[in-house]
Chain A
Amino acid sequence: DVKVTQSSRYLVKRTGEKVFLECVQDMDHENMFWYRQDPGLGLRLIYFSYDVKMKEKGDIPEGYSVSREKKERFSLILESASTNQTSMYLCASSHNPRLGDSEQYFGPGTRLTVT
């Protein structure tokens, strides 16, 4: 069974704090993704990574950075949290879509509140 785990289910941080969200997958997937989910906006891609130390900007990378030092771990960093970053953050992983299995597996999400 594929498992994608996220370090926290709920987080409350103050404006200006540095926030780390961690994601770990155990299926040796090449690709990992960070999304945020907001009402009426669906899932929006922040960053994705198709290999260790590789990263690509998604649709809304501003205010975020990522780190992928190991294949199984993909971290999302909010350098200076702001209230408009209050959201549900979802991590996902997948094999290379062009090699067959395109399905993404999602973690349970982290509900981040910035006050």
Chain B
Amino acid sequence: DQQVKQNSPSLSVQEGRISILNCDYTNSMFDYFLWYKKYPAEGPTFLISISSIKDKNEDGRFTVFLNKSAKHLSLHIVPSQPGDSAVYFCAALNTGNQFYFGTGTSLTVIP
């Protein structure tokens, strides 16, 4: 059973506009959330994270929002750039130190 879900397999956005990637989770024991970016033929690389005690974390063009009551997090990329085109995975960490990953969203930023 998928505990972390990314319901949009793909997303296309114009360069300069905002990209919003969504992630839902089912387990209320998750207390730390991360976003990873993956280019083809490479391993995922860490992008940004958020603890469950916060509702927002910002790092440059990337902002992650957490809505605990809705068990939902989102990644905002503003402004989007062609180099942001990649597959984005959200991940959640449970109290047993196990990571759970979503199925990924493929973002295409159109120049």
Listed in ascending order, the chain A residues whose CB lies under 8 Å from chain B are 4, 31, 33, 35, 40-45, 48, 50, 56, 58, 90, 92, 96-98, 102-109
Cβ 8 A contact of B93, one of A43, A50, A102: A102
Within B64-111, which residues are at the interface with A (CB < 8 Å)?
89, 91, 93, 97-104
| B101 A43 Cβ-Cβ under 8 A | yes
| A90 B43 Cβ-Cβ under 8 A | yes
| B44 A43 Cβ-Cβ under 8 A | yes
| B44 A96 Cβ-Cβ under 8 A | no
Residue total for B at the interface (Cβ-Cβ under 8 A): 25
Does B42 touch A at the CB level, under 8 Å?
A: yes
Instruction: Given A42-B6, A42-B89, verify A109-B98 contact (CB < 8 Å).
Output: no
The CA of A35 and the CA of B32, in the complex, are separated in Å by 19
